[in-house]
A and B are shown apart, each in its own frame.
Chain A
Amino acid sequence: MKKISLLPVLLAGVFGLSANAVAEIKLTYSDWQLAQEVWGKSLNDVIDQFEKENPDIKVAREPVQLAQRDVRFSTAIRAGGGPDVFALDANPVRQYIAEGWVRDLTPFIESSGGNDFLSDFYPISLQPVTVDGKVYGLPMNTVAMTLVYNKKLFQQAGIEAPASTWEQFREDMKKLTRSKSGSGPVDQWGLTLVLAPAGFDLRVTSIVRGFGADFLTEDGTRSAMDTPEAKAAFNYIVDLIQTDKSVPPGVTQVDANGARRLLANQTVAVKIGTTWSYPEVSAMNPALDGWNTLGMAPIPRSAGKDNQVRTTLFQKTIFVNQNSKHPEAAWKLARYLTDPAAMKRWFDDNNMLSARRSVNEGYEKISQSESARTVAAEIEHGAFLPQTPKWPQILDAFRQNLQAAVAGSKSREQALNDLNQQINTILQ
């Protein structure tokens, strides 16, 4: 009898020991850029390096498409699961925070040096992820939207560089809208705009910012689209499309990819983009010789105005899932991906600026690149889109009314009135 009852205890001891010996933490990391060719390889290399330096942590990579990301994440996190560490762009951040889906990282930051740790990040990059003094995410890449233009096409039209005022810009666009052969129908247009949902948030809003307008008032309680600047921006965009026809037909269907294609095929001379436009557009059309043919310039302003903010910022941030069973390990991974060494890697591989001032200003490769310098300088002139959980609805209202005005189904005044009304209703 005694002998048999010892056995379970022995077994338990043996299992307990062996369980400890192979205790391996399994994390999952999900990112829409894992699904891309170049970025995917870059991310995988860095994470492989992380695994080497942390032999007790294994990271499973879960690519997901940008358009499907929130569908998958929200379903999983709502049900108590989801990836341990994941990346988001600036759009749904406040919603994720409001829903309680991302972990408060302040305790981890405190033990990593507190304010010293945070001081290297641009203050503005921490704004979207900080609520009530608590920091919820680590910024990874921050860039500002600028004009991306085809130097050759500009030269052909006799224009030296993109204008710095909207008035001059409009004239330039008209000049660039012509027939390539000189005598046929128009087959080249000045610029392309993005009116489809994918990519609308960054590009068209940059024009609004360029005019010195904004969507919401400072305190975020009322619509600010009734100011003269906002009206000017709105009418300007509709004019470019309807009156001047400097934009190719079918603009309502053009999304970010479509815009890149138009620039790559030299169907347009200008688009609004940022550092990623160079590698992407060049890859689309090697004959274009993008790295030499493309140039960058800041978003114009209205003549006589000197608004500090003139463009929109894009940011990719790393978050830790509230449901994560291994928050310590997850924090390690998040930190690794945003450390200066990784930041340099992101620039080397993908031409993406970092959210760390020391890297953007100190890394020689960044200072040597014209496009990187331009965009880095513009970060100071950029602002994020309104950081409110209701932002997606407001953006949708803006896009719909703009589309209606462009299509002519609403008059411009009507569209603007409706927009202001809708925004105020949403904010109630």
Chain B
Amino acid sequence: MMSGKHRLAVYGCLLAMAVYNLWPFFWMLASSFKTDMEVTSFPATIFPQTFTTDAYSRVWSQEGMVHYFLNSLLVSGATALLSASVGVLCGYGFSRFKFRGRNLFMVLLLASQVIPGVLLVGPYFKMMSLVGLYDSLTGLILAQTTLTLPFSVWMIKGYIDEVPIELDQAAQIDGATSFQCLRYCVLPSILPGVVATTIFAFLLAWGDLLWALCLITDPAKQTMTLGITNLVGQFRVLWSDIMAATVIGCSIPAVAYVVLQRYLVQSSISSAVKG
């Protein structure tokens, strides 16, 4: 256990971290409870002088935000799951097997991320219209997966590398196939890594704007990020509404993380095996 001084230092640092992370959210929260006038007044006020929940009721009822959140949840969730599952397979392949072109494929995977999405959207849109996936959430999910997959593969491969290959070999001697190795030996050991990767993929898809903007024109299928930027209109920028919508938008991934973070636990592999 930690010594008293050590404990004080750790909690002190954690407190500092909490304050550092929270202060923009505090400002967002405070602004979301201000009236439209007060939020843009000069001199600015720190605490709301007139406390109101109008922004939240406007966001919740009028703008169709509920739909946008649900759409985002669906799309981001599907993207995260797809990335994680394909990523685990791919990461395992890269980590455990030596085959011709392995290094090349790994580099290519990373290289696919170097061209900005701005240029890729147009041709991708054309492809999607040809296949009939124009203005569909499926097309969006596929597009966002290409954003998250390369990073996911590299991350998971990194975690699988950490698992000693002796584990696989021991299982093989017992007659397991490589897939069973993956499922029963490797996967449990890299669970924290998979969780981290899934969270990462989810958040990446959650925050995407460009693909959602170009691929979705039906207002009913819009995602949350698009919905929030829609609050920046030509004539009206309702800052308190934007703040309210963002508070809601950020709390959803945070809640998901609360649930998932309990998988970020200490590995039980002893270094005797690691060698």
| Chain B CB within 8 A of A67 CB | yes
What is the interface of chain B, defined by CB distance below 8 A to chain A? 36-37, 40-43, 121-123, 125-126, 129, 134, 210, 213-214, 217-219, 229-230, 232-237
Q: How far is the CA of A218 from the CA of B151 in the complex (A)?
A: 54
Q: Contacts of B234 on A, CB cut-off 8 Å?
A: 32-33, 35-36, 65-66, 256
Whether B213 pairs with A260 at a CB distance below 8 angstroms is no
Whether A81 pairs with B134 at a CB distance below 8 angstroms is yes
Given contacts A261-B40, A285-B37, contact A36 B236 (CB under 8 A): yes
A276 to chain B, nearest CB (A): 7
Interface CB pairs A-B, < 8 A, 6: A36-B234, A68-B213, A78-B122, A79-B126, A256-B234, A257-B237
Most interface-central of A36, A72, A248 (chain B CB within 10 A): A72
A209 to chain B, nearest CB (A): 22
For the complex of A and B, 10 pairs with smallest distance between CB atoms? A79-B126, A66-B234, A75-B214, A79-B125, A257-B237, A280-B235, A261-B40, A62-B217, A75-B122, A78-B122
Give the contacts of A284-303 with B (CB-CB under 8 A): 284-285
Q: Contacts of B219 on A, CB cut-off 8 Å?
A: 62-63
Q: How far is the CA of A422 from the CA of B139 in the complex (A)?
A: 42
Q: Contacts of B129 on A, CB cut-off 8 Å?
A: 79-81
Most interface-central of B217, B229, B232, B237 (chain A CB within 10 A): B217
A60 to chain B, nearest CB (A): 8
Q: Contacts of A387 on B, CB cut-off 8 Å?
A: none
A66 to chain B, nearest CB (A): 4
Q: How many A-B residue pairs have CB under 8 A?
A: 79
Given contacts A68-B213, A80-B129, A260-B235, contact A284 B230 (CB under 8 A): no
Q: How far is the CA of A80 from the CA of B129 in the complex (A)?
A: 9
Q: How far is the CA of A76 from the CA of B129 in the complex (A)?
A: 10
Whether A265 pairs with B41 at a CB distance below 8 angstroms is yes
Most interface-central of B43, B218, B230, B233 (chain A CB within 10 A): B233
Given contacts A62-B217, A265-B41, A267-B42, contact A79 B122 (CB under 8 A): yes
B41 to chain A, nearest CB (A): 6
A56 to chain B, nearest CB (A): 22
Whether B213 pairs with A72 at a CB distance below 8 angstroms is yes
What is the interface of chain A, defined by CB distance below 8 A to chain B? 28, 30, 32-33, 35-37, 62-68, 71-72, 74-76, 78-81, 83, 187, 248, 256-257, 260-261, 264-265, 267, 276, 280, 283-285
Q: How far is the CA of A283 from the CA of B213 in the complex (A)?
A: 29
Whether B214 pairs with A71 at a CB distance below 8 angstroms is yes
Whether B236 pairs with A284 at a CB distance below 8 angstroms is yes
Q: Contacts of B122 on A, CB cut-off 8 Å?
A: 74-75, 78-79
Specify the chain B residue showing the minimal Cβ separation from A255.
Answer: B237
Given contacts A68-B213, A80-B126, A81-B125, contact A187 B236 (CB under 8 A): no
Whether B37 pairs with A76 at a CB distance below 8 angstroms is no
Excluding A36-B236, A72-B217, A267-B42, 16 further A-B contacts by CB distance (< 8 Å) are A36-B233, A65-B232, A65-B233, A66-B233, A68-B229, A71-B213, A75-B121, A78-B122, A78-B126, A79-B125, A79-B129, A248-B42, A257-B236, A276-B235, A280-B236, A284-B36
Q: How far is the CA of A365 from the CA of B219 in the complex (A)?
A: 35
Q: How far is the CA of A335 from the CA of B111 in the complex (A)?
A: 49
Query: Which of A32, A37, A79, A265 is in CB contact (< 8 Å) with B42?
Result: A265
Query: Which of B121, B134, B218, B232 is in CB contact (< 8 Å) with A67?
Result: B232
Q: How far is the CA of A257 from the CA of B122 in the complex (A)?
A: 30
B130 to chain A, nearest CB (A): 9
Q: How far is the CA of A64 from the CA of B229 in the complex (A)?
A: 10
Specify the chain A residue showing the minimal Cβ separation from B39.
Answer: A261
Specify the chain A residue showing the minimal Cβ separation from B123.
Answer: A79
Given contacts A76-B214, A284-B36, contact A65 B235 (CB under 8 A): no
Q: Contacts of A276 on B, CB cut-off 8 Å?
A: 235
Specify the chain A residue showing the minimal Cβ separation from B37.
Answer: A285
B57 to chain A, nearest CB (A): 15
Q: How far is the CA of A159 from the CA of B203 in the complex (A)?
A: 56
Specify the chain A residue showing the minimal Cβ separation from B40.
Answer: A261
B55 to chain A, nearest CB (A): 15
Q: How far is the CA of A280 from the CA of B237 in the complex (A)?
A: 11
Q: Contacts of B41 on A, CB cut-off 8 Å?
A: 265
Q: How far is the CA of A370 from the CA of B61 in the complex (A)?
A: 37
Q: Contacts of B134 on A, CB cut-off 8 Å?
A: 81
Q: How far is the CA of A99 from the CA of B44 in the complex (A)?
A: 46
Q: How far is the CA of A64 from the CA of B212 in the complex (A)?
A: 12
Specify the chain B residue showing the minimal Cβ separation from A78.
Answer: B122
Q: How far is the CA of A36 from the CA of B129 in the complex (A)?
A: 29
Q: How far is the CA of A276 from the CA of B121 in the complex (A)?
A: 35
Q: Contacts of A35 on B, CB cut-off 8 Å?
A: 230, 233-234
Whether B126 pairs with A36 at a CB distance below 8 angstroms is no
B174 to chain A, nearest CB (A): 54
